[in-house]
Structure 1
Amino acid sequence: MIRRMTAAKGIALAAVLGLGLTACASDDPAEETTTEATGAAEGGDAEPLTIGTILPVTGTLAFLGPPEIAGVGLAVSDINEAGGVLGNDVSIEWGDSGDTTDTSVASSTATDLIGKGVSAVIGAASSGVSLAVVDTFAEAGVMQISPANTAADLSGYGPFFARTAPPDTVQGAALGSLVLDGGHTKVAMIVQNEAYGTGLRDHTAAAIEAGGGEVVYGANGGGQEFPPGETNFGSQVTAALAAEPDAIVIIAFEETVAIVNELVAQGWDFDGTTYFCDGNLSNYGDQFDPGTLEGVQGTLPGAQADDSFKELLNGWYSENENGELSDYSYSAESYDATMLAALAAVKGGATDGTTISENIAAVSGANGGTEVTSFADGVAAIEAGEDITYVGPSGIGPLNEQNDPSSAYIGIYEYGGDNTYTYSKQIEGTTE
């Protein structure tokens, strides 16, 4: 048992931006330098693999922590049940990422994890947090794999950073198309001022404008973004509504509660006119009066977790965290990030971060190879001298030359009268 010690208790514009929202993978996979699994990589070692996490236990994205933690924990349990990595069980060092209102939390966690000898870390959830620590991990030779970062600034950031969530070029195209499909042409955007918020805003706005719509408030260059952690949105909402939009897109984290309350106070009708994204797609329940969010739609990168995977996640979380999951966002991406790190170590014959970095694209399928869906099958194929394509519950395509998924799903969700969201459909987008 791996117990966590917590740090604190159809789319209309499918071709927009050159991103085919189609079910296709890369035709030009990245060529990666790999080392045969029959011996350790030069300069590597065969010490037991230790994976760290830098996931949101506290802060404005803390609602994403439980499913991501469960994804990592379940993956390591499955890996160890299959015999571990290079004959040794994998261990986890758990850490808190906090959020961008205080990046000292993440910086402290990064230093702590490096000191504990981790070779790979899973996280962060926030792109802004990752941008604050990615260089620290790279300088220490630690491979960072985010299950949730979407900022385009992180595409191709360096050999020690990869992700199992697609960049905002994909979600932005989907979100912009969703707005246009709702018949909207005058859109206000209430956006937090950090890499994730402004990046997703820019790609969403580009899709809206390419489809003949207009961003009437919150566009790039307007200076109307709000700082992370803001609590008073009276002036922003007043200005946004003064632009007479027929739709509002909210790109925020926990601040969304205050934004919604202000929109309610100023008489905004949410039904069919309001759009969320992955940063605020959460089950709000009785945080608002019944019916407040009915008809609101939102996008979430990642495949819809199937019932059997949810059952496994719930089982792990109940046993190790003594709790129940109410959300599954980025759980599959966290599971797959962990699996890719372990398989990369097996392929390279060593557990250091450099070996994982050099082999992670290859085990994701960048060089083609036998399709495998479990750690045990992946190890068997590698030991037989085969290239592999790991296909996990997130459904992402092989990592491309920028260490981004070459294809990934974007889920479309809609809120009901109980202020909780349900799955509507999903589309597959490509990053190249």
Structure 2
Amino acid sequence: MTRRMTAAKGLALAAALSLGLTACGSDDSADEAADTSEESMDEGSADPLTIGTILPVTGTLSFLGPPEIAGVGLAIQDINEAGGVLGNDVEVEWGDSGDNTDLTVANSTATDLISKGADAVIGAASSSVSLGVVDVFAEAQVMQISPANTAADLSGYGDFYTRTAPPDTVQGAALGSLILDGGHQDVAMIVLNDAYGTGLRDHTQSAIEAGGGTVVYGANGAGEEFPPGETNFGSQVSAALGTDPDALVVIAFEETVAAVNELVAQGWDFDGTTYFTDGNLSDWSGDFDEGTLAGVQGTLPGAQAEDDFKERLNTWHEENEGAPLDGYSYAAESYDATILAALAAVRGEGTDGVTISENIAAVSGAEGGTEVTTFAEGVEALEAGEEIDYTGPSGTGPLNEDNDPSSAFIGIYEYGDDNTYTYVRQIEGQIGG
């Protein structure tokens, strides 16, 4: 299995009409503009909506890039096949987020997307990366919608930031309950030292302790986290296993390979004792010997994607990126983020970031309305003067006052002998705010 992403290709979209008019200020010009207003509405009532992406093509989260890119691409395809936004096809500008080890990639991409006129951007995947660029987008009045950020630090961050993934409060509670339900009480945690890793650790620890368990290594305040990009886990694994845990949680990205190899070397038994999270719930069949991860369980925010949706994502990716997908993490959330941006533009009758910001909560169902499941259904209801409640494949609830989904599903998965994971069940959690 390759973990490299080919450079994201631009979609073959139809050229949009340019609607720029030079205002002359004369009565004749005003009359001419009035006479052609109806024709302009038919051809496109606003500038084309430009969606940018700041998603991981390179770096430790690059395994999440393909499904997220496919989600955005498929959504834009569906939007344009339904007539586009306000009479024009949606345009796309692809960008790389890099990862939390080198924010220069994300900063360069953010500047580039703004210069290219992006109205809304989908990404980043890493919470730390988003925290590094969110103010840049807000200053430019570009709406940022992350399909994968879970750090609680981003709840209520500002008017120009929202997400279609739930904050760590939900996944942490689910993971803590999963560990306790497995009969474990003494839990060691190998934790990435960034906003994602420590935030998820804190909420998981709270759930474990509320259920009578103890975090014996890697707890909040112990100073035992590892830095992004770490490759040597010898001393950390020795210290963690030295606490005699009956369960182990690994919160990491690509660092998981080095951590697991060290755990194997030191004799850790993974079966029924080890837990992954969304950052490392991946196809590891090409990285470890057969059976290494058998019995490992993991959590992933988002509803289980339907087979027909997965098939459409895979088809889009094969046609546009030349390879099948090997996972679907955050693909549905990426799809829904793109659809919500487009519906917000339709509701507000404008494609700029301010309009999208002011209308995105409403189209997510924050004000009630007719439930719709596709962009086309949403446009039809909006044009009929109705409020809408868009419920897409991710299954998240309406955005709340913190611009977080008000409810979300957390999937429970388990690894087999081939070091790939399969769906077991899902639970739904409510989010305050």
Note whether the superposition's TM-score is higher than 0.5. Answer: yes
CA-to-aligned-CA distance 1:330-363 (integer Å, 9 cap, x gap): 0000000000000000000000000000000000
| Secondary structure class of the residue paired with 2:364 | helix
Identify the residue that residue 416 of structure 2 maps to in structure 1. 416
- Equivalent in the alignment of 1:131: 131
The corresponding residue for 1:373 is 373
> Does 1 or 2 have the higher relative contact order (CA < 8 Å, sep 6+)?
1
* Aligned partners of 2:6 and 2:321 also within 8 Å: no
Matched with 2:310 is 310
Aligned to 1:15: none
Question: How does the TM-score come out when normalised to structure 2?
Answer: 0.90
The aligned counterpart of 2:46 is 46
Q: Is the 8 A contact 1:6 1:94 kept in 2?
A: no
In 1, Cα distance between equivalents of 2:357 and 2:212: 42
1:268 aligns with 2:268: yes
Contact 2:281-2:298 at 8 Å conserved across structures:
yes
Contact 1:7 1:95 in 2 (8 A): no
Aligned-partner Cα distance in 2 for 1:351–1:6: 30
Letter in 2 for 1:207: A
1:326 and 2:321 correspond: no
Pairwise CA distance, 1:287: 1.1
CA apart distance, 1:286: 3.3
Structure exhibiting the larger radius of gyration computed from Cα positions: 2
User: Secondary structure of 1:366's partner?
Assistant: coil
1:223 lines up with 2:229 in the alignment = no
- Unaligned stretches of 5+ residues in structure 2: 10-37, 39-44
Give unpaired runs (5+ residues) of structure 1. 10-37, 39-44
Identical positions, percent? 79
The 5-angstrom pairing of residues 238-257 of structure 1 reads 238-257=238-257
Q: For the Cα contact (< 8 Å) 2:8–2:94, is it kept in 1?
A: no
1:301 pairs with 2:329: no
Aligned twin of 1:353: 353
In structure 1, the residue matched to 2:292 is 292
Aligned to 1:180: 180
Question: 2: CA distance between counterparts of 1:53 and 1:131?
Answer: 16
Alignment of 1:136-151 (within 5 A): 136-151=136-151
For residue 283 of structure 1, give the secondary structure of its aligned residue in structure 2. coil
Alignment: residue pair count: 394
Amino acid at match of 2:101: T
Alignment correspondent of 1:157: 157
TM-score (norm 1): 0.90
Question: Residue 154 of structure 1 aligns to which amino acid in structure 2?
Answer: L
- After superposition, give the CA deviation of every residue in 1:222-259 in whole Å (9 maximum; x if it has no partner): 00000000000000000000111000000000000100
Give the Cα separation in 2 of the matches to 1:55 and 1:350: 25
Where 2:423 maps in the other structure, the secondary structure is strand
How far does residue 75 in structure 1 lie from its aligned partner after superposition? 0.2
Runs of 4+ aligned residues of structure 1 deviating over 3 Å after TM superposition are 5-9
Distance 1:312 1:389 in 2: 23
Per-residue deviation, 1:6? 6.1
Cα distance per residue 1:402-427 (max 9 Å; x no partner): 11000000000000011110000000
State the Cα RMSD in Å: 1.3
Contact 1:8 1:58 in 2 (8 A): no
Q: What do residues 389-412 of structure 1 show as CA deviations (whole Å, max 9, x unaligned)?
A: 001000000000111000000000
Q: Distance in 1 between matches of 2:111 and 2:54?
A: 11
SS at match of 2:53: strand
